[in-house]
Structures are given as structure tokens and as C-alpha cells.
Amino acid sequence: MKPKRLLLPVMIATALLVGASHNQAAEQNVGYKPRLFPGNRLFLRRLADPGETQLSARYLANRGEFAGNIGYSVGIVEFRARTFKVQFLVEGNTFLVSKLSTPDFPVQSTDYTIAFALAARRDNFSARLKWMHISSHLGDDFNAIEDVSESIEVVYAGGFGFLRAKKFSREFIELQGSVVMSGLRVYGGPVWAYHIVAGRDDPVVSDAWTMQAGLELRKQGSQFLRPFLAADFKARQEFSWDVDYNFQAGVALGKHRERQMRIAVEFFGGHSPQGQFQHRRERDLNLLTAFDF
């Protein structure tokens, strides 16, 4: 990764350390000290966002495919800045999709994400500022994958042409705000992809904005089994602001909303969440199991 592309996460980390040292002395007077590795989350996961860092498995019923997220978000330190609680987090996620129609379960693509985030909360309001890097890679026997034409390129050597996967790499800055009103949560904000690699020699910096919003309706209380509804919407400038949507309906198992298992039916419509196939329009009915830890 180039030094310039590390500038933002270094700035965030520096701001965190300065803020923590500044607030520590001031907050000791009221009995509050910074905490390392906090177990809670100030900004809760967006339940219906396929790109959220999580541990989950999906069965894509109408395509006979498996989609899985292997990810975790680690809180490093929590401190107080005036009336806000603030956390610094490190996240990593792997998202893969594989075919189930053949015994060897060939992988279509794998997306790798790393992120650094600052989250803050005051009462029912929370927010998150996050820097993310994502790279997407085609999987097994990519020249046999359906509708892969925009994800491969031909290179010539010695008079012969060879197929190879295109590069897909992006860096984002995301800002999201969230408000909880009784059992209803509403969130939204912009995402800016300030560095895009759409091919091996083709950096692109235009058409890089995304607007994202969503809502979640959960049954309140301490019951072990609680129903929920969730919806997520994304409109991307590079696709002429077409709206991608994802709906979930299911139940959450566990008495703590940050420590729970979710089982849901999901309906997705829009551009593929797989980076290498983002040009492809999909309509998927999925069965989801997710673990929020």
C-alpha cells in the first residue's frame, strides 16, 4: 500500500492518541478513565447492509450459491470527549461467494476489507467515521464463470493472448449517523471512494459518491427471542444514482442486542455486492444466519 494511501488512517490514529491523552486528565475528576478493548459497541452494526463487517452465512436460493462473511470489529480504546463516548476500532472482513452446483464448490470471488473507525455516542444518537480499503479477486476457473466479461482482460505475450482478472481496489471514507427512537433505528450518511482502481493501469477518481440510509425495527425488552425488520438502501453516483436495496425479516436470539444470533429471510435487489461483479444486476432471495459479537 502506498504511503499516501496510509495518510488518513495515520491521521485518525494520531487524533485518537492526542484526544485520549487530553481527555484523560480532565475526566479523572469525574471518575471516568479510558478503557482498553471495550466490549460494547457505540455504533451498532447495520443489520441489512451486506457490506457490514460481520460473521454470517447466506444461501442464495434462486442462484444456488453460498455467500459468507468472515469478519470482526475490535474496539481498541474508549474514552470520553465532552459529553460523547468515543471509541477507536479496527475491522477486518472477508466476503466470498461460491457455487453449490458442483462438488468442488468453486469460489466466484473474494473481497477483502480492512478498516479503521472512530465511533461516538451520546444518548440515542451515535455516529461513525471510517476509513476502508477493499480489494476484490476472482476465484477458481474464472474464465468459466458466467457473466465475467467485465472482470477479465486479455494480455498478449509472444504473440499469444492470455486471460487474467482485472484489478479491483478502492479506498473509502464513510460517515454515518444513527438515531434510536424506542424500537426504531434510522441511520444514513455519505460514502466517498477517493481512490479507485478499476483495472491494472486504470485509476479512476470520478463518480465516487454513495449515499446510504436504512432503518431497523426491533422488539424491545429482554426476551431471548425477538423479531426484527431491517432495510438498507444505497444510491451510487457511478450507476446514475440507481438505488440498491436489501430487506431482512427475522428473529434475534440472545438477550443483548450486541451479543446475538440472527436468523432471517432476505431480499436483495440492485448491483452485486461482489466487487468484481458490481456491474451485474441481481435479485436474490436469501436465507441468512449472522452472529453479532
Nearest to 141 by CA among 117, 174, 165: 165
Q: What pLDDT, on the 0 to 100 scale, is given for residue 155?
A: 56
Find out whether 189 and 210 touch, Cβ atoms under 8 Å: no
Quote the CA–CA distance of 181 and 231 in Å, as a whole number: 16
Q: For the chain, what is the domain count? A: 1
CATH number for 161: 2.40.230.10
The DSSP result for 31-95, as a single string, is T---EES-SS-SS---TT-TTSS-EEEEEETTTTEEEEEEEEEEEEEEEEETTEEEEEEEEEEEE
Enumerate helices (H) and strands (E) in the chain, giving the number of each. 1, 16
> For the chain, where are the alpha helices, taking DSSP H only?
7-28
Q: What pLDDT, on the 0 to 100 scale, is given for residue 222?
A: 66
Quote the CA–CA distance of 219 and 208 in Å, as a whole number: 37
Amino acid at 157: A
Quote the CA–CA distance of 130 and 117 in Å, as a whole number: 4
Q: Mention every residue, 6+ apart, whose C-beta is less than 8 A from residue 159.
A: none
Q: Mention every residue, 6+ apart, whose C-beta is less than 8 A from residue 64.
A: 99, 100, 101
Quote the CA–CA distance of 285 and 266 in Å, as a whole number: 6
Range of the domain at 255: 3-292
Instruction: Describe the chain by its helix, strand, coil percentages, rounded to 5.
Output: 15, 60, 30
Cell of 168: 479491483
105's enclosing H/E stretch is none
C-alpha of 289 from chain center? 16
Quote the CA–CA distance of 103 and 76 in Å, as a whole number: 41
Tens-digit pLDDT profile for the chain (293 aa)? 454 555 555 444 444 444 444 444 444 435 568 889 988 889 999 999 988 999 999 999 988 889 999 999 999 999 998 889 999 999 999 999 988 877 777 888 899 999 999 999 999 999 999 999 999 888 766 655 666 666 666 555 566 555 566 778 889 999 999 999 888 999 999 999 988 887 666 656 556 899 999 999 987 766 788 899 999 999 999 888 999 999 999 999 887 766 789 999 999 999 999 888 888 899 999 999 999 87
Quote the CA–CA distance of 98 and 50 in Å, as a whole number: 16
Q: What pLDDT, on the 0 to 100 scale, is given for residue 141?
A: 64
